[in-house]
Amino acid sequence: MAAPRLPPLPTIRDILKLYKLNAVKRLSQNFLMDKNLTDKIVAKSGLTGSQVLEVGPGPGGLTQSILKRIPKRLVVVEKDYRFKPTLDMLADSFAAINGKMDIIYDDITKINVESLFPMEEKRDWNATAPNIYIIGNLPFNVSTHLIIKWLHAISEHRGPWAFGRTKMTLTFQKEVAERLVADVSSHQRCRLSIMAQAWTFPVLRFIIPGKSFVPQPDVDVGVVSFTPLVTPRTQHDFKLFEKVTRHVFNFRQKYSIRCIETLFPLYCRKELGLMMYKLSDLDPTLRPTQLTVSDIDRLTTAYKYLVEKHPEIGLYEYRASRHLLPLSNTKDVVVEDYTEMSEEMSI
């Protein structure tokens, strides 16, 4: 039996003219007009016969390419009601071949994504990835915030990752895409690189020229796929690991120990920073971009140990007005027997 085929659909350019739709600048909307490119994004995602969540479909260019793959079910989440006529048209076309497309008008960050998929799709984390895919041409103003939020969910096996190692294929500004996959010593390596690579295997699939979008953005766009790791490169709590990573990249051109020192108040900063590097068995003159995920994991272990010993250390915030909070036991931390601490931490 031949595979079902979608009824003929108008081009995105025709849809924009028909419904008089324009991109809204404050929502960072840029419409991808090239069907070959939307087909390529879908092809690189690897989805087939799947449960699919599309984020920010807009007028439906990428949606059309997804529907051509005849997924088992497609859920689109769009916060702009202006696209309702175009998305309804696509849903009706898919229904004509007994396809199921659900449209949710809401902010993706406010939705209980876990409730969108049937439990029979659930897989053990160590097994093959579930038949669920997330795909989206994300607005630039939400992409970084959203990927950090989703990496946090991956670390805790929440949302789409309650079903297993759900894969994602998303678009970002070219510079952000390159940061996500940046290797050790790359000038692009940053907090985002470490966080993405600690819990997933990110791959930059290809670059889309800015001229392919309407309106044309000032930058090109990168398509990145994420596969959650069976065993993450850190076992630390996401927020704790992110805090240490954020401090590591406070001053990218300085020695990394100068960045780590900002975890502590001025009057004990140098002593405790040096203690963290001794406990982690790392060279304090390494630059932030030279640190591996494993290196930052060890620094986080050292920081966690110090905080457990002296909880008041964890209250210090470098950029907060209360950053001069006294630490009564700081001296004890500095003179702690190094050998004993190393044995306790198993470093």
Question: In whole angstroms, what is the distance from residue 261 CA to residue 255 CA?
Answer: 10
Q: Which two tokens mark 135?
A: 């795909």
Q: Where are the domains of the chain?
A: 12-228, 238-345
CATH superfamily of 12-228: Vaccinia Virus protein VP39 (3.40.50.150)
Instruction: Please work out, in degrees rounded to the nearest 5, the angle formed at the alpha carbon of residue 269 by the alpha carbons of 268 and 272.
Output: 80
Instruction: Please work out, in degrees rounded to the nearest 5, the angle formed at the alpha carbon of residue 189 by the alpha carbons of 186 and 195.
Output: 145
Question: In whole angstroms, what is the distance from residue 317 CA to residue 1 CA?
Answer: 64
Q: What is the pLDDT of residues 17-50, one digit of tens each?
A: 776 777 676 566 788 989 999 999 999 999 988 9
Q: What is the pLDDT of residues 72-101, one digit of tens each?
A: 999 999 999 999 999 999 999 999 999 999
Q: Provide the 8-state DSSP code for 323.
A: T
Strand ranges in the chain using DSSP code E only, listed in sequence order: 31-32, 51-55, 73-77, 101-104, 132-136, 167-173, 200-208, 213-214, 221-228
Question: In whole angstroms, what is the distance from residue 194 CA to residue 214 CA?
Answer: 32
Q: What is the pLDDT of residues 218-248, one digit of tens each?
A: 899 999 999 999 999 999 999 999 999 999 9
Question: In whole angstroms, what is the distance from residue 73 CA to residue 101 CA?
Answer: 6
The phi and psi torsions of 260 (rounded to 5 degrees) equal -60, -35
Per-residue pLDDT of the chain (347 residues; tens, 9 = 90+): 556 788 777 787 888 777 677 767 656 678 898 999 999 999 999 998 899 999 999 999 999 999 999 999 999 999 999 999 999 999 999 999 999 999 999 999 899 999 999 999 999 999 999 999 999 998 888 899 999 999 999 999 999 999 999 999 999 999 999 999 999 999 999 999 999 999 999 999 999 999 998 888 889 999 999 999 999 999 999 999 999 999 999 998 899 999 999 999 988 999 999 999 999 999 999 999 999 999 999 999 999 999 999 898 999 988 774 444 455 555 555 545 445 555 555 54
Out of 3.90.400.10, 3.20.20.210, 1.10.287.70, 1.10.8.100, the CATH code matching 238-345 is 1.10.8.100
